[in-house]
Structure 1
Amino acid sequence: MIRELGANLCIMDMRPYFLHPEDHTQKVHVLLDPCHMLKLLRNVFSTVEVLVREDGQQIRWRYIEELHKLQEKEGLRLGNKLKMAHIQWRNQKMKVNLAAQLFSSSVADALEYCEQELKYPQFSGCAATVQFLRTIDAAFDVLNSRNPLGKGHKAPIKPTTKHRAKGILEETESLLRGLKMKGSVMGIYEDLVEQPAAPCRYLLTYKLSQD
């Protein structure tokens, strides 16, 4: 429908508006629902498990799972709302709050604390994941502002906040455009064959099938 009306959401040639058919001086802007997009991003992140930034650094779902396991073991949460429902989101995949609470600065802060202060080895190298969570959190706040008196990232876009909001959205666009998915088969190969003290000398891909 968007294409037929004259807009284009192709990432390589984006034109997120079309001209009003009765008045070509007016643009009709197209906006995908931020809440639905946040859920889709969560779905992709959880499913592929590893996203690779343009600079090669990896964003790993495993850190989210490790944080959940640690908090369950200790019986407390490090200032965040992460629980089993966020890990097993498919049971409640339409709930926006589960995606929003996952992509939060509080989860990012907890991961950073576990790596930098507690020195837990399972969180080593999580800096790219921390930045990813913070960037998406800030962008979602900008795209989901609802209070005219909101502060920080949740403030409405107006002349005094325009440049900050634009900066956040441009940073997010740059990050998302540069993301690549790490191929699952090659990821398994690297983990099982190429890592130090790897358990295998080779990978037979037939072993991955249900046959």
Structure 2
Amino acid sequence: MLWKSFISARSCDLKATPCEPLKTHFPHPRTRDKVFVMMDACHMLKLTRNILEVSLAAQALSNSVAVALRTLQDLKEYAVFQDCEATAEFIEITDRLFDILNSRNPRARGLLSVLGFVINIDTLMAMIPVLLEGQRYVLTYRFSQDHLELLFNSIRASGFVVRRTLKKLSCDVCRASLLMDAESASKDQSYHLLTLKNNGGLVIPSAGTVKVVRAAEWVFRQAVADSRRSQPIKLLEVLYMVRKRIGGEDVFLLGEHITDTRYGIDSHHHTLLTLVVSLFFKLRLHHIAKMSTLSLQKDSVRQKLTKTVLLKGQ
């Protein structure tokens, strides 16, 4: 497997004896600090589920499935469930492991291919004592690849927003502030994957554009997570919060041009920020509407199987 070759090439030892922990870290090539290997818990759960080859009704590896199996075993009316204790225990352990490896709340109490789970356990045992020397708690969800995906999605969305914004701008200085040239991007690790995928046709958003889009995305996610909200978020609210997060920073690097005004009213900085956030707002609303439609078409299966699972190839 590709990931096993990658890990082995970096001096990790995944072939330790059962009585010893695996070596799940390798030295950083420059600082020599320990870089720990951490598998994405959600993907490990999906791989473990695929190994079981069970029906759709039992693909959610949750505690409720283990309880159901033991209940059927205790009834003694179904011979096929009389030897299911090992499966129930395996599902129960996997459920607890997932809760531990995917914690999002410091007050949460929770007691992957299988090798992935083992790697994560040994990584946490070695890494958490080090982290707790400088912080009060560790949220293991922060180790998932969701955050990388959010970053890359922000860069991708920024490119789309830039294309639309350029069509609405006549100021050459403002247009240039939205973009980063290919040479500069090639030297910035944040754009490494974009540089690899770029055959000359991709728009490379400036760091300031990405920062504004990420701020707007943060506002969206905060609004979605707020159970007290009774009304959908409005554009003016997003603009206000983004300006609050950006503050007085010259995020688009306009320099002296930042004080220039349009029609003697709004500064170019204000106009540019408003335009970028407005276009991203429309893009985000379209995405939310699309995902809501898809969830309705699937009869809300994901809500029924909460621990879940890839459905229909997703």
* TM-score of the pair, normalised by structure 2: 0.30
Question: Which protein has the bigger helix share?
Answer: 2
Higher radius of gyration, 1 or 2: 2
* TM-score of the pair, normalised by structure 1: 0.44
Question: Which protein has the bigger strand share?
Answer: 1
